């Protein structure tokens, strides 16, 4: 069991119908909210192993479920920002992005008692070339971002796999990518989403060990909707549905596998340890 380096579990706090770019009406015409129920499942499992995690909370969800953020904070977890509307950063533009950052920061700060210092863009829609967005994050007091995914289609397959600094103007921000498994032709999404539930445990565990042996943390991500295999899904094409929801397999068993074998902390704790060096 590898126990010498802390990794991170991160949760994108959004509901099952928060899929970027989807337009239309859900089956049955209703949007049954399930985020609170599934966050409770995540919190119960984390508490069993006394692990603290980072929760990237969507501002609109926090606003509509005001008991959610206090519940997460009561478990000792970190609250970070996932934006407000779950719109792509490219669709927001600088003014819209700044407005969402401030609006979400105010909501989360009021509900948790402190302003967030971390951000993750919906659908990994922040690119390293978007210097204006990183400058806004720095100006608003953010110390780290976790939006750059080294995967094809949703990110940059040749991007950094390990944490690195991004300098913008006179400031800087730490970028913390999610874990991927190097593979000929591109990286595999073993750190979260459909890949986390699809690839064998041995591949996921071996990747964590390789990260740790190189002195780097492995960062995982999951969505509350992944905690229930038979939860509702938006009507989409089979390919897009699989990309958004993955296989009909809940992530709880996989999360337990990780918690039993590796050490975890919050992204804020990582940033503080790196800044103190």
Taking residues 181-188, report their average pLDDT. Answer: 88
pLDDT above 50 for 27: no
Q: How many helices (H) and strands (E) does the chain have?
A: 10, 9
Q: Distance between CA atoms of 81 and 143, rounded to whole angstroms? A: 12
Taking residues 89-108, report their average pLDDT. Answer: 95
Q: Which residue has the higher pLDDT, 241 or 118?
A: 118
- 246 — pLDDT class (breaks 50, 70, 90): low
Structure tokens, 108: 């989360």
Taking residues 114-141, report their average pLDDT. Answer: 94
Least confident of 24-33, 45-54, 56-65, 114-123: 24-33
pTM: 0.90
- 165 — pLDDT class (breaks 50, 70, 90): very high
Nearest residue to 5 via CA among 154, 224, 214, 201: 214
Please provide the average confidence, as pLDDT, over all residues in the chain.
87
Q: Which residue has the higher pLDDT, 90 or 54?
A: 54
Q: Distance between CA atoms of 229 and 245, rounded to whole angstroms? A: 9
- 193 — pLDDT class (breaks 50, 70, 90): confident
* pLDDT at residue 235, rounded to an integer: 67
Taking residues 2-31, report their average pLDDT. Answer: 66
Structure tokens, 186: 């591109």
Q: Distance between CA atoms of 84 and 34, rounded to whole angstroms? A: 18
Q: Which domains does the chain show, CATH number per domain?
A: 6-18+33-275 (3.20.20.370)
> What would the pLDDT profile of 257-270 be if each residue is shown by its tens digit?
999 999 999 999 99
Using left for φ > 0, alpha for ψ between -120 and 50, and beta otherwise, residue 51 falls in beta
* pLDDT at residue 248, rounded to an integer: 55
Q: Are 177 and 159 in contact (CB under 8 A)?
A: yes
pLDDT above 50 for 25: no
């Amino acid at each position: 069991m590898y126990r010498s380096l802390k990794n991170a579990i991160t949760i994108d706090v959004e509901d099952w119908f928060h899929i970027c770019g989807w337009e239309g009406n859900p089956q049955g015409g209703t949007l049954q909210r399930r985020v609170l129920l599934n966050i409770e499942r995540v919190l119960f499992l984390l508490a069993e192993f006394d692990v603290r995690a980072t929760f990237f909370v969507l501002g609109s969800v926090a606003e509509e479920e005001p008991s959610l953020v206090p519940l997460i904070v009561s478990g000792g977890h970190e609250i970070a920002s996932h934006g407000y509307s779950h719109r792509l950063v490219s669709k927001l533009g600088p003014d819209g992005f700044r407005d969402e950052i401030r609006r979400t920061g105010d909501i989360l700060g009021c509900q948790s008692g402190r302003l967030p210092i971390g951000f993750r863009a919906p659908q990994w829609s922040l690119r390293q070339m978007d210097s204006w967005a990183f400058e806004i994050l720095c100006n608003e007091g953010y110390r780290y971002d976790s939006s750059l995914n080294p995967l094809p289609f949703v990110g940059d397959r040749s991007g950094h796999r390990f944490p690195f600094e991004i300098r913008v103007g006179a400031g800087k921000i730490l970028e913390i990518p999610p874990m991927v498994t190097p593979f000929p032709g591109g990286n595999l999404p073993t750190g979260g989403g459909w890949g986390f539930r699809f690839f064998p445990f041995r591949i996921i565990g071996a990747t964590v060990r390789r990260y740790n042996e190189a002195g780097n943390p492995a960062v995982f991500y999951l969505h509350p909707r992944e905690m229930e295999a038979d939860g509702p899904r938006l009507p989409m094409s089979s390919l897009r549905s699989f990309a958004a929801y993955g296989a009909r397999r809940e992530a709880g068993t996989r999360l337990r596998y990780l918690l039993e074998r590796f050490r975890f902390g919050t992204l804020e704790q990582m940033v503080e340890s790196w800044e103190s060096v």
